[in-house]
Amino acid sequence: MKRRYGALALAGLLASPVLAAEPPHLFKERWIDGTLTAEPVAQVQALDGDTFVIRQSVKTNFEAPFLYLIFGRDSALLVDTGATGGVIRPVVDRVVTEWLAAHHRQTIPLVVAHSHSHGDHIAADAAFRERPDTVVVGTKASEVASFFKIAKWPEGIGHFDLGGRVISVIPTPGHQKAAAMYYDPRLQIMLSGDSLYPGRLYVPVNFMGEARASIDRVVKFAATHKVRALLGAHIEMTREPGRDYGHEAPTHPDEHPLEMPVTQLRELQAGFRAKLDEPDTRQVHDHFIIVPVPPRDQ
């Protein structure tokens, strides 16, 4: 870990009463991690009766991404559709059917959005475009801004009302141009996508300025909104501080928890203060690793 960054982060957080030091333990079961001989193509765990986290099996794709399904009174929001090899729509359809039965309803509209538009998060979009009563948000920054009525991308914040549950949509270009985080005030969780998760945070060197500005905005947002936990799109770290799995690892024994304390926003912000202009130079922290990569167009 870069100890000086950690010290800066902790000092800043102690001065902020709305930033918790550690996240709660949100999940009752261990996530599927490829270590068993057989495991389902996806695993679902509920945060409450209206909020579900889905993990695609690492046996179907080494990315093993996490997806989020959130229900309100009037509509539901799915964030990401997974990576190639996944069988995500039947899993989502099953959860929706069970939710409808529990609420004595016949239908609910579904909106499919994304943490960003890399292939391991949009692979099943086509299956959802064919789904009745479903809208799939476009994957360009302009399309995300238009759908969520973000007047000035990326400085503005969108708000999407599911019916008694308003989700804030915070643009976070850096890892990718159309990246966004989603904040749920009911559970006080931030869906942080690939911008912050327990793993390797890849940032193209030509997007580093945008990444810094994005995390500055999220830290500012978190200073006025209680965030109990950050929930990202992958797990690539072990429980040993600073130790990750190899690229395309087929199993993830002794995984880091998915949920991260909000203190990690400030630690990432501090880490970004370094120059970080050389591709593939790793800046190792206990819970994540910043990895600058060669320039990209998107």
Domain spans in the chain, listed from the N-terminal domain onward? 3-293
pTM of the model: 0.92
H helical segments located in 200-241: 208-222
pLDDT of 4 strictly over 70? no
- 113-127 mean pLDDT: 98
Using one digit for the tens of pLDDT, what is the confidence trace for 261-296? Answer: 999 999 999 999 999 988 988 999 999 999 999 999
Phi, psi of 216 (to 5 degrees): -60, -45
pLDDT of 20 strictly over 80? no
- How confident is residue 24, by pLDDT bands cut at 50, 70 and 90? confident
Nearest to 234 by CA among 186, 264, 198, 284: 198
- 35-46 mean pLDDT: 96
Question: Which class in CATH covers the domain with range 3-293?
Answer: alpha beta
- How confident is residue 36, by pLDDT bands cut at 50, 70 and 90? very high
Q: Check if the beta carbon of residue 37 is closer than 8 Å to that of residue 57.
A: no
